[in-house]
Structure 1
Amino acid sequence: MRMTPTLLALSLAASPLLANAAGFDNWPTKVSFADGTELAATGNIAYDWNNFSGDIENADAVRRKEFGATLKKKGVYDAMVYYDFQSDTWLDVYLRLESKAFVGQDIGKFRVGYMKTPVGLDAVTSSRAGSFMEFAMPVQAFYAGRRTGLDWVLERPAYLLQAGLYGGKDLQGDNPGTMQALRAVWTPVKAEANVLHLGLALSQENPRGWRDGRDVHHEATARFRARPEAGLTDLRLVDSGALVTADKVNRAGLEGIFIRGPFSIQAEALQATITREGKPDYTGNGQYVMGSWVLTGESRPYSGGGVANIKPARDYGAVEVLARYSRLDLDDADVLGGREHNWTLGANWYLTSHFKFQANYIKADASRRGVHTKPEIFEVRAQMHF
């Protein structure tokens, strides 16, 4: 295996930071005004190198090139515009209001705009804060992505409630239809370095057909598939194919997080059912469980129903080792989408609050329509975020 010159240069460039890593946490990316309003730039750049066994072509490329801005006044509102220039995809575009500033009591936060839908714990975590380089297969397959709509979140010390209504297409002009979603999280233990999080999320999507620029009608479809937990390949070892005509897509997820000091466990079980006109319902399901140990003693931060990047307590950064098992089953009814299970080992080096390096090794095992494949993947990432 050979690391590309670009990625090697990024890695070597970080080494001088060790002498004064703490100073790199004070970046001038924000400006504050007299009334308490704060304007900030935000960004996330990640460069990946993937090495595949077998006939899959190796690759190195910029994985993410996300830039945007936030405007907020603490306790009153916050707004964000965020775009990924690498994939030409809109990310978050929203305005969120805090009820206490307007009605005198906290009855939750109300957000309108383009935002993530809540079924899939890992998917609602910021892309910059992923413990592994890519989502586990069931999250890839069943996460509904972002939608335009309205949501409400109420958080208390022992629980979090979320409800959302979404409609129309996404900002790329795809996925026409409507969706309703609910998420409930119970946190009987929620303190720094000591968390127990148990959650349930449900959604119902109603896809609809559409007409293209040539006035050709396309039936409402749904599709479940996943890459082998590597981002620089279009290969899907399991794939339901496009299922027509999709009337409803019902998603459900169970989620859990346990954090105790430098140790943590996270798991999800996800399922989605497509109701089809004139054909039997089709259901796919999958699960993953992961464990993390921060060798340098820090803990995974937790807030707002999710985790964030580890903040190093030492000049040489923080080091985390991880393991994950994931499985995905897309065989059901008349659909032979395949089955796959993966083992992943990972290591993360959080050099500062803005620089992160990741390495993952994935051993995949997939069977579809009588074809059995077992690729191995090694991937590394250099990431800068602010």
Structure 2
Amino acid sequence: MKMFASGTALLALIAATPALAQEPSKEDLAELVRAQAAEIASLRQRVEKLEAGATPAPAMAAAPQAPAAPAPEPAPPEPAPQVVVTQPYAPQLVPPGPAERDVERVRAAAVSASGVSTEWGAGLPVFHSADGMFSFKPRGRIITDVSTSTGSKYSGRNLTTTGMRALRMGLEGTVGTHFFYQFESDFSENEVDVVTAFMGWRNRIAPGMDYDVRVGHLFNDRSFEGSTGSDSTPFTERSVVATAIIPQRAFYGLGIMPRLFWKTGHASLTVTGDRIDGDQSTSDNRTVLARAHWNPLKSDRQVLHLGVWGFDEMLHPGKNTLTRNTVIGGRFNGALRLSTGTLIGGTGTTGYGVELGGYSGPLWIMGEAGERHARLDNGRPDFVTRAWSVSGGWFLTGDLPPYNPRLGSFGQPKVLRPVFEGGPGAIELTARYENLEFDDIVTPAQGWAATLGVNWYLNSFTRFQLNAIHWNTQNTAGAYTGKDDGQTLTARVGVTF
């Protein structure tokens, strides 16, 4: 009722306001103030009579009441008074600022009537059922590159191109404590391709030791950079160890992969057929691949990494082409490759490699080497591929390298001071030297590349990359034979959800 009294007083004041717009004299103003005071006093008396006969209403917790303002005194005729309009108290409807919000209330409001809660991860929401039985998260990856090459003696190699390194959408989720799944499809380079697509089961064997088993279309666990996702590589392209010492089916295969994890490392075994395809008229090739890594030194700011891996692949007739065109100076220059020329008649491949590296504070280094033997029919000698690389990086902003000790590969960095929170982000300088040779074939080839780069991570899932590459190739097959060298400048912007 007090609020009603204040409201009626306000209405009376508003009703009288038009008179003020006519520029009244001093005598008129004095008379107006006396009339307003009398009207307010009369209204207040009526309200007090109503309150005396009414049941008091409970006070509103959200809007504390202010005591009624006393009626203004009549103004004397001389001198003319200054007209001051005093607004009666009204509750404020402005929402509280972030510092005033009740954190527990916000968390409780995240649970809807259907029993689903949400939280925001790396750019996309994660959905959880109220009982924790189900979780679901969309996944995405957008990586755009631009590349320009100069200095080649062949004008066909001096190209400027653009491309989508990845344009990926997918999902992942869990059912209960043990079952999980993931699916991703890639739309880059004007093609639709199913990449990761699997179901899995995980459990704990003992304190500090657990396992998982995944079944479906699986990404290789092979070499350090070969096991690192395209959204997490410190350079715009993986090293030649990852791209050349590889099964003929490349990075993916349909099969099963059990993995074992302990406090200082992991081991995996993969058995797969071909990539997902629509051809069931012939048998799949078969690939068995294994990898293990160990961290004999592991602390908050220091890690020593040791790794070994190997694979064996059986090739069926009709699926035995061994032709290689391997990236040496940039992915988006199709003329810049190390090539074998047409090579068919393979019966299988065997490859193996080693990894040695680690980090101390913001500085990291990694060395890899591998060799691949491709077996040929009709008694021909093996086609041999040899590759090695040494790379390193230094975070000028003091951030730690994004090393994942569980998988022995790089992941998304944990940026200490993201740009979106007013910080500089994470700035990393990188360098790499890599060497590749194709031997024991009629058309051998060799090449090397040296790369200097800088990465700017705005936050943990947004990055800019710039690589300056000096490359050298010597092909004996294809359109660009003989010795050749030049420079490639590649830039990238990438977002991972």
Above 0.5 in TM-score?
yes
Provide the residue aligned with 1:118 in structure 2. 221
* 1:89 paired residue among 162, 179, 193: 193
SS of the equivalent of 2:231 reads helix
Query: Does the CA contact (< 8 Å) of 1:83 and 1:91 recur in 2?
Result: yes
Distance in 1 of aligned mates of 2:278 and 2:473 = 33
SS of the equivalent of 1:270 reads strand
RMSD: 2.3
Structure with greater Cα Rg:
2
Q: TM-score, normalised by structure 1?
A: 0.85
- Deviating more after overlay: 110-119 vs 358-367: 110-119
**What code does the residue aligned with 1:183 have?**
R
Distance in 1 of aligned mates of 2:139 and 2:319 = 39
Are residues 1:30 and 2:126 paired?
yes
Query: Does the CA contact (< 8 Å) of 1:49 and 1:61 recur in 2?
Result: yes
Deviation of 1:52 after TM superposition, in Å, equals 0.8
Provide the residue aligned with 2:167 in structure 1. 65
- Deviating more after overlay: 191-200 vs 89-98: 191-200
Counterpart mapping for 1:29-48 below 5 A = 29-36=125-132, 37-48=134-145
Deviation of 1:245 after TM superposition, in Å, equals 1.2
Query: Does the CA contact (< 8 Å) of 2:445 and 2:475 recur in 1?
Result: yes
Deviation of 1:112 after TM superposition, in Å, equals 0.5
Q: Could you report, residue by residue, the CA deviation over 1:278-335 in whole angstroms, capped at 9, with x for unpaired residues?
A: 11111111001101000000111322221212221112200000000000001x2233
Counterpart mapping for 1:233-312 below 5 A = 233-278=333-378, 279-303=380-404, 304-312=407-415
Distance in 2 of aligned mates of 1:122 and 1:74 = 32
Distance in 2 of aligned mates of 1:25 and 1:184 = 30
* 2:436 paired residue among 328, 349, 365: 328
Deviation of 1:130 after TM superposition, in Å, equals 0.8
Deviation of 1:373 after TM superposition, in Å, equals 0.7
Deviation of 1:177 after TM superposition, in Å, equals 0.2
Distance in 2 of aligned mates of 1:28 and 1:283 = 45
Matched positions, count: 352
Deviation of 1:26 after TM superposition, in Å, equals 6.4
Query: Does the CA contact (< 8 Å) of 1:197 and 1:257 recur in 2?
Result: yes
Provide the residue aligned with 1:3 in structure 2. none
Provide the residue aligned with 2:106 in structure 1. none
Provide the residue aligned with 2:325 in structure 1. 225
Query: Does the CA contact (< 8 Å) of 1:140 and 1:225 recur in 2?
Result: no
Are residues 1:163 and 2:279 paired?
no
Are residues 1:339 and 2:446 paired?
yes
Change in 2 beyond 3 A, CA 1:313/1:105: closer
Deviation of 1:368 after TM superposition, in Å, equals 1.8
Deviation of 1:145 after TM superposition, in Å, equals 1.2
Counterpart mapping for 1:342-361 below 5 A = 342-361=449-468
Query: Does the CA contact (< 8 Å) of 2:126 and 2:135 recur in 1?
Result: yes
**What code does the residue aligned with 2:228 have?**
T
Deviation of 1:271 after TM superposition, in Å, equals 1.1
Deviation of 1:25 after TM superposition, in Å, equals 7.0
Query: Does the CA contact (< 8 Å) of 1:66 and 1:86 recur in 2?
Result: yes
Provide the residue aligned with 2:242 in structure 1. 139
Q: TM-score, normalised by structure 2?
A: 0.67
SS of the equivalent of 1:230 reads coil
Distance in 2 of aligned mates of 1:207 and 1:242 = 17
Change in 2 beyond 3 A, CA 1:242/1:89: farther
**What code does the residue aligned with 2:183 have?**
V
Identify the structure with the greater helix proportion: 2
Q: Could you report, residue by residue, the CA deviation over 1:222-274 in whole angstroms, capped at 9, with x for unpaired residues?
A: 23331224121222431123422111100101112311110000121021101
Change in 2 beyond 3 A, CA 1:105/1:98: farther
Identity rate, percent: 23
Query: Does the CA contact (< 8 Å) of 1:130 and 1:309 recur in 2?
Result: no
Gaps of at least 5 residues in structure 1 are 1-23, 210-217
SS of the equivalent of 2:215 reads strand
Deviation of 1:89 after TM superposition, in Å, equals 1.9
Query: Does the CA contact (< 8 Å) of 2:330 and 2:336 recur in 1?
Result: no
Change in 2 beyond 3 A, CA 1:27/1:251: same
SS of the equivalent of 2:416 reads coil
Distance in 2 of aligned mates of 1:266 and 1:113 = 30
Provide the residue aligned with 1:76 in structure 2. 178
Deviation of 1:73 after TM superposition, in Å, equals 5.1
**What code does the residue aligned with 1:133 have?**
T
Runs of 4+ in 1 over 4 A off after TM superposition: 103-107
Distance in 2 of aligned mates of 1:382 and 1:105 = 38
- Deviating more after overlay: 263-272 vs 173-182: 173-182
Query: Does the CA contact (< 8 Å) of 1:99 and 1:106 recur in 2?
Result: no
Provide the residue aligned with 2:91 in structure 1. none
Provide the residue aligned with 2:79 in structure 1. none
Deviation of 1:107 after TM superposition, in Å, equals 5.4
Provide the residue aligned with 2:300 in structure 1. 192
Change in 2 beyond 3 A, CA 1:26/1:182: closer
Distance in 2 of aligned mates of 1:60 and 1:241 = 26
Identify the structure with the greater strand proportion: 1
